[in-house]
Amino acid sequence: MARRALVTGGSSGIGRCIAETLARDGCDVGIFYLGAPDDALPVLGRIESLGRRGWSCIGDVRDSAEVSNAVEAFAAKFGGVDVLVNNAGVFRDEVVWKMTDAQWREVIDVDLTGMFHFARAVIPRMRAGGWGAMVNISSINGLRGKFGQTNYSAAKAGVVGLTKALARETARFNVTVNAVAPGLIETPATAAMSDDARRESVGEILLGRAGRTEDVAELAAFLCSDRARFITGEVIRVDGGQYV
């Protein structure tokens, strides 16, 4: 039986690439995202072209009821949930002395609390199934901090702690929980960076270029597979040496 995977923020960027890679590897895939109905059509078409079943749901990871309802609907359609990739995230960059309460709360609520909502909803189903794999998308800026990103760095550092605690809580049920920490990756979100910010970031990368969404997706898919069955509680960087 095909494994059943949920990807948050799965309509574009890293999330879309992860969803398509999981489908390539034999999973039926659902995406949860915040956007218009048509935003899901390209990724659903790709999933189905790979011979797998696709599913989509529009919702906000900050809303625990919407998350619970989406997980219930996905599990009812596919018979359970085996894989969760917590990818949904936002940037609201500003130096701390100019950052508003709204900018702080939105990033913390989406990038960290949203992952908690999905983990809480999905883990009981993984326990019942006797197997599960969860991958949480963090960032190297959650490991080192970043100027102008106190909210984002704090949220992504929280993802690391969340991942390690969940790994301890779920291991007895044959569930693994790991985090991936990308550096600069070419996505629609990073395309909006200023030229100066891009030059600064690329200048930090030992390989001298930004990464591609496939670089993150291949690792995430590996961590969701049986090949990674003895890996849990890890935080793995995909950054071309940007953190070094």
For residue range 64-73, list pLDDT tens digits in order: 999 999 999 9
Q: Report pLDDT for 173.
A: 98
pTM: 0.97
What is the pLDDT at residue 25? 98
**Tens of pLDDT along 105-130?**
999 999 999 999 999 999 999 999 99
- Burial (CB < 10 A; 0-12, 13-18, 19+), residue 196, is exposed
Q: What is the pLDDT of residue 190?
A: 86
* pLDDT range class, residue 238, cuts 50, 70, 90: very high
Torsion angle of the four alpha carbons 40, 121, 88, 131, in this order, in degrees rounded to the nearest 10? -90
Task: Name the residue with tokens 């591609």.
Answer: 212
Domain 4-238 class, CATH top level: alpha beta
Residue 33: active-site member: no
Q: Which pairs from 158-163 meet CB under 8 Å and 24+ separation?
A: 158/108, 158/112, 159/86, 159/111, 159/112, 159/115, 160/235, 162/112, 162/115, 162/116, 162/119, 162/136, 163/136, 163/138, 163/233, 163/235
pLDDT of res. 188: 87
Point out the catalytic residue in the list 32, 74, 118, 152. Answer: 152
Residue 133's Cβ-side half-sphere holds a number of Cα atoms within 13 Å equal to 21
pLDDT at 168 over 90: yes
Q: Which residues of 29-47 are buried (b: 16+ CB within 10 A; e: fewer)?
A: bbbbbbeeeebbeebbebb
The single-letter code of the amino acid at 216 is V
CA separation for the pair 44, 52 (Å, rounded): 9
Which own/partner pairs from 144-147 qualify as long-range (CB within 8 Å, at least 24 positions apart)?
A: 144/243, 147/95
Percent of the chain with pLDDT strictly greater than 90: 95
Q: Is 157 within 8 Å of 136 (Cβ atoms)?
A: no
The CA distance from 25 to 20, in Å, is 9
Each residue's pLDDT tens digit, 43-102: 999 999 999 999 999 999 999 999 999 999 999 999 999 999 999 999 999 999 999 999
The string of pLDDT tens digits covering residues 177-210 is 999 999 999 998 888 888 888 999 999 999 999 9
Span 221-234, mean pLDDT? 98
**Residue 233: pLDDT above 90?**
yes
Q: What are the φ and ψ backbone dihedral angles of 239, each rounded to 5 degrees?
A: -145, 10
Contacts of 223 (CB under 8 A, 6+ apart): 133, 135, 176, 178, 180, 231, 236
pLDDT digits (tens, 9 = 90+) for 146-163: 999 999 999 999 999 999
Q: Please state which of the ranges 20-24, 180-184, 186-190, 240-244 shows the lowest mean pLDDT.
A: 186-190
Q: What pLDDT score was predicted for residue 148?
A: 96
